[in-house]
Structure 1
């Protein structure tokens, strides 16, 4: 065979080998790198500085805290993490992030809002870029609604003009007049950005009823899904966003809440005497259902510690 032809074939084989090697190297590198990082720019936090945190640095932190500090809420935390991974990189486009949080009081809704605020801003809920409106604090007369509606629209627009990553938390939305949701929707449609969180306990009795019924049927909490609770959830406030459902807590999950609180107070309080005294105060029925919340067990924990109450009798 002609030596020239042999050389050409060898060169072609080497080129093909190099192509395969480069392809394999890039594929392995992609797998190791994982999904694309959250992309933020200086402009994303323009106006928010110096009190804002670059979300690229806090992204992993909030995922870790949601997974470790919120106990027993797979129908809330998993969708929340998925939403954060998917949408936070798009804040610079002006599309708002809208999350509605449903469930009984004391199951973690407000805590999720707090974690998000702390992960985005150094001052957390106290940041000037975090805005909280509580429906329980609104005592508006009919004639005041029109004026307050205009004021709310201007307030939202002003904050988003200053910082497109402004966080708005609307608590007890079942007590907020329907008219006030119109300016909120107008601002969302104007593509000014912003993160909007809406918490409500409106459907709590039905959620608790369904939850207890599923337990009596032998359905474990980890087997439950949104379809079980469809009749408990009202129509979304808006046609965009994600709905998170917080369920009543199990005894073991309440114990984890208590341990978290004891850890905050110091390791010296993590004794068998103290923990047993706390656990004995968790009411449980025959199927293992308890209507106690994480917020309530934290109060019990503080009481036991403050009074050094190690009497484990009921």
Structure 2
């Protein structure tokens, strides 16, 4: 059987110049390397068109991925941490990331999402969760070194639980049968959102352009907020102590014009015309803060779809 398969390969390669061995391999076998099809240009375009008011998130994400993917032998897995208030686009951006990294997008068997409420609900079972999580990570890295692990709502994760994966994030751990350093880990958290909002508000009050906000303006405040939060999954975590997070990706609070962009985008996805009266009515119905200045949306784009249905 093996000889017949080899002969078949030679015949196909010899009779059709367009055949390439990697492509043929992907047709014959279910390989995770074949499923991993990063298209960073498409990701950058998607972020520019569909994620509003997040220049820092776009810049940091694309830059980090380019640096990580340019080598076949990275020194460690890529570890990203998304921070910002609810509704600013963290979960949406993570979906775009998966969409443009894997051929099957969010249906890919090599993408693994974890929710503390769904997967780790009971604090008394933390030790059991630790062992299960460690086995899950190691098993899936053995199956596919190009795995992506996404941890949602880290601010609701039981402190101490996530430390079990710290060895997988560094340069010295060994997962037999796999180059685990090709994996990507993404943590999503609302923690640090207040600190980011304060920076953005100060820029607005000083009449500075939002685009002038740099990573150095927000990262120290985010780090301080996470370290001080005793209910956060990173509380006294080895991941923080060992500086295993490669890039902090901040999401800024959204201005009314960003909300209007969200309304138009949602209407387009629903196949409806973007009537400006409706767009402004939906955007104006949201709550903005500070109360006397109404600069930023309290819920971002999260409730836009519901508001549109209400007005329709």
TM-score band by shorter chain is: 0.7 to 0.9
Greater helix fraction, Structure 1 or Structure 2: 1
Out of 100, 104, 110, which is 2:91 matched to?
Answer: 110
SS of equivalent residue, structure 1 residue 199: strand
Contact 2:256 2:297 in 1 (8 A): no
Counterpart in the other structure of 2:278: 274
Counterpart in the other structure of 1:47: 31
Does 1:260 find its partner at 2:244? no
Counterpart in the other structure of 1:228: 217
Counterpart in the other structure of 2:140: 159
Contact 1:257 1:298 in 2 (8 A): no
Contact 1:153 1:187 in 2 (8 A): no
**Long gaps (5+) in structure 1:** 1-40, 309-314
Structure 1 or 2, whichever has the larger Rg, is 1
- State the distance in 2 between where 1:152 and 1:162 align: 15
Contact 1:251 1:282 in 2 (8 A): no
1:227 Cα deviation from its structure 2 partner: 3.3
Matches within 5 A, 1:2-41: none
1:182 Cα deviation from its structure 2 partner: 2.4
Contact 2:80 2:249 in 1 (8 A): yes
**Long gaps (5+) in structure 2:** 1-21, 174-178, 228-238
Matches within 5 A, 1:165-204: 165-189=146-170, 190=173, 192=180, 193-204=182-193
SS of equivalent residue, structure 1 residue 244: strand
TM-score by length of 2: 0.74
- State the distance in 2 between where 1:94 and 1:227 align: 25
Contact 2:110 2:148 in 1 (8 A): yes
Matches within 5 A, 1:32-111: 47-48=31-32, 52-55=35-38, 58-90=39-71, 92-93=73-74, 95-111=76-92
- State the distance in 1 between where 2:292 and 2:157 align: 38
Segment drifting more, 131-140 vs 286-295: 286-295
In structure 2, do the counterparts of structure 1 residues 130 and 196 end up closer, same or farther at CA, with 3 Å as the change threshold?
Answer: same
- State the distance in 2 between where 1:227 and 1:118 align: 29
TM-score by length of 1: 0.74
Counterpart in the other structure of 2:302: 295
Counterpart in the other structure of 2:201: 212
Contact 1:211 1:247 in 2 (8 A): yes
- State the distance in 1 between where 2:31 and 2:152 align: 26
In structure 2, do the counterparts of structure 1 residues 169 and 121 end up closer, same or farther at CA, with 3 Å as the change threshold?
Answer: same
Q: Deviations over 1:170-189 (max 9, x none)?
A: 01112223332222111223
1:91 Cα deviation from its structure 2 partner: 5.4
SS of equivalent residue, structure 2 residue 303: helix
SS of equivalent residue, structure 2 residue 113: strand
SS of equivalent residue, structure 1 residue 104: coil
Counterpart in the other structure of 1:11: none
- State the distance in 1 between where 2:86 and 2:308 align: 18
